[in-house]
Chains A and B, each alone.
Chain A
Amino acid sequence: MSVVTNTTTIGAIEAPSRRNTELAMLAFAVIIPVFAYANVGLAKDGSLPAGMLGYGLGLSLLAGVAHLMVRKFAPYADPLMLPLATLLNGLGLVLIWRLDLEPTITTDALGGAMAPKQMIWSALGVALFLGVLLFLKDHRVLQRYTYISMVVALVLLILPMFFPAKFGARIWITIPGVGSLQPAEFAKIIIAIFFAGYLMVKRDALALASRRFMGMYLPRGRDLGPILAIWALSLMILIFETDLGTSLLFFGLFVIMLYVATERTSWVVFGLTLSAAGAVGVASFASHVQSRVENWLNPLALQDGGVTETAQAVYAFGSGGLFGSGLGQGYSRLIGGIAPKSDYILATVGEEMGLTGLMAIILLYGLLIERGVRTALAARDPFGKLLAIGLSGAFALQVFVVAGGVTGVIPLTGMTMPFLAQGGSSVIANWALIAILLRISDTARRPAPAPAPTSDAEMTQVVRP
């Protein structure tokens, strides 16, 4: 039987772990922000900035530790997610540091310099990333906590109602001595776990028990319960917390996951109709939402002696042009407040890196989301599939809501650009999100164990002439 060892089977290509690719990409992803620091420093003072070494070392330390842990605990995970997240986080740090150099928007009243704090938040985010990789050995464990996660997500969503509103939206909870948190950022991960666990069990009922009417599958009345409940919840968020973004995120996430679980277009039509009706209804009486819509429709209207922030952001994009003014040479400080560091950070990107840079950044987000969807396609268990699509869907919706708001496609909402914008909760939650996606992709890409040697035991019958 010595000949047998020569045979190969189609498809038995050994799966590479791609960890070295990840390391190379990570090194690249650390070099780009360091280059950006040098660029900002040279443009502002004509010398290499003193903080460059510190930030560069900090970022490479975070990336290095994360890479080693991935190598140890998720060896077959996707090679691109970690470098993409690191690059976006690093660029975010540079942009915030660069805006810190503008004295008019870095006054004590506005919270002073944000970059050091953001660095600490990033470190905490990577720590949570490592924690998730370390303690979540198998993502299917999360399935056990389906209904607990529903309760936790609801509590997290309702909590901010009891705290005073900031910047016109009640989305923060303030813990004395620690600072303020945006629980919705964490709730989006937890609610994706709930949807995945719930839809995995109920998807057959939702997909099959339906009547056909005018070419569409209408769901049964009793199956409508959950979607109506989520719709009511997202409207309540919109009304009581006046937070358009979060409500859009949750309802959109539910519709995406419902569609993926049931393959029924009718759910998407139904969901879009409901959300449109809800949004129009709420916009007709909630003043906060009304003003946002007003700014979106008439950005050039005069307000407090100047144009709206929406118009200022669009001016920033316009002044950036195709190739931008160069890092550190833009005027996005004119937007005022801390908005350029958080909500409008894309305006800074658009002004200083131009359309070319903005497209690259959006492509980076696109690639990250693509890897998430790819993970969902590759995952073998339905819960993992739904969870991966839910997490990447939430990420995608958030990017769309923020980018769309800043560029004037949709009314602006109070959400942060994942990784890029200033904000602790956002960075920490998104690192945890990446960690769960990496865990799922590790399970999905791990080569199947070799089949047990079996059952060639029956003897071959001999042809008798």
Chain B
Amino acid sequence: MSELTLTVMRLGFLAVLWLFVIVAVQVIRSDLFGTRVTQRGSRRTASADARPQQAGRQQQAAAPPQQRQRRGAPTKLVVSEGTLTGTTVALQGQTVTLGRAHDSTIVLDDDYASSRHARIYPDRDGQWIVEDLGSTNGTYLDRTRLTTPTPIPLGAPIRIGKTVIELRK
């Protein structure tokens, strides 16, 4: 067997062994952060970028820097009145549901709230929208009762029963 073949095999074996280690680490990584989410269309990156743990990955996905994090986009949802006063929820691009149901993101302990009262979600441009889910007592943005999904201005109070929430930077 020629010297060259053996050298190639020797280095090739080491490369394959390390490849196994690297693939194993990749499996662990995907175990930690979940399966990689591929973005459909570049515009959604703005909202998805708010996820801090994904920030590095998003950069990898060649998102142009000026598209990252729109200026003035809200990053958290704060409960400012009601039994949950002081609770904050980081806005990470997912839908936030509000209601008395136990599987809501924010479970309201409020007799005037319906079990599935309202939800707050980002639209395609990363603008956050509040939508009433057919609640008994209605959802109020400032003082108007919502009838259609409505964009939320920064800092505007959303009233659900005795609870008031708002979006902040």
Contact = CB atoms under 8 A, between A and B. Distances in A.
Contacts of B17: 32, 353, 357, 360-361
A51 B20 CA distance: 24
Contacts of B100: 456, 460
Interface string A58-90: 000000000000000000000110011001000
Interface string A245-284: 0000000000000000000000000000000000000000
Contact of B6 (A1, A36, A329): A329
A1 B6 CA distance: 69
Given A7-B119, A29-B20, A326-B7, A35 B13 contact: yes
Contacts of B119: 7
Contact of B116 (A1, A46, A329): A1
Contacts of B101: 456
A367 B112 contact: no
A18 B31 contact: yes
A371 B92 CA distance: 28
A461 B116 contact: no
B61 interface: no
A163 interface: no
B134 A10 contact: no
Interface stretch (B52-60, B63-71, B79-87, B103-111): B103-111
Contact of A460 (B28, B95, B114): B114
Given A32-B16, A35-B16, A80-B27, A364 B95 contact: no
Nearest to B136: A460
A319 interface: no
Contacts of A462: 136-137
Nearest to B138: A463
B24 A84 contact: yes
A7 B112 contact: no
A41 to B, nearest CB: 9
Nearest to A29: B20
B148 interface: no
A25 B27 contact: yes
Contacts of A209: none
A364 B20 CA distance: 9
Interface string B83-99: 00000000010111100
A3 B134 contact: yes
Contacts of B113: 460
Contacts of A18: 27, 31
B115 interface: yes
Interface residues of A, number: 56
B98 to A, nearest CB: 10
A356 interface: yes
A92 to B, nearest CB: 14
B18 A326 contact: no
Nearest to B26: A21
B103 A32 contact: no
A360 B14 contact: yes
A451 B97 CA distance: 17
A364 B115 CA distance: 50
B102 A451 contact: yes
B11 A8 contact: no
Interface in A319-371: 323-327, 329, 353-354, 356-357, 360-361, 363-364, 367, 370-371
B1 A43 contact: yes
Contacts of A448: none
A151 interface: no
Contacts of B24: 25, 80, 83-84, 364, 367
Given A16-B35, A79-B27, A326 B9 contact: yes
B24 to A, nearest CB: 5
A354 B14 contact: yes
A13 interface: yes
Interface in A7-57: 7-10, 12-13, 16, 18, 21, 25, 28-29, 31-32, 35-36, 38-39, 42-43, 46
B116 A7 contact: yes
A4 interface: yes
A303 interface: no
Contact of B9 (A32, A39, A360, A361): A39
Contact of A87 (B20, B35, B112): B20
Contacts of A360: 14, 17-18, 20-21
A8 B11 CA distance: 50
Nearest to A79: B27
A10 B21 contact: no
Contacts of B104: 9
Interface in B1-54: 1, 5-7, 9-14, 16-18, 20-21, 23-25, 27-28, 31, 34-35
A354 B137 CA distance: 73
Given A8-B95, A326-B9, A25 B16 contact: no
- Looking at B11, B20, B97, B112, the one whose CB has the most chain A CB atoms below 10 A away is B20
Nearest to B101: A456
B141 interface: no
A367 B101 CA distance: 41
A367 B25 contact: yes
Contact of B115 (A3, A324, A357, A460): A460
B167 interface: no
The 7 closest A-B pairs by CB, nearest first: A326-B10, A456-B115, A46-B1, A360-B17, A460-B136, A461-B111, A7-B97
Given A18-B31, A360-B20, 18 more contacts: A7-B119, A8-B94, A21-B27, A29-B20, A32-B16, A42-B5, A42-B9, A43-B1, A43-B9, A80-B24, A323-B10, A324-B10, A357-B13, A361-B17, A374-B28, A454-B102, A456-B102, A463-B137
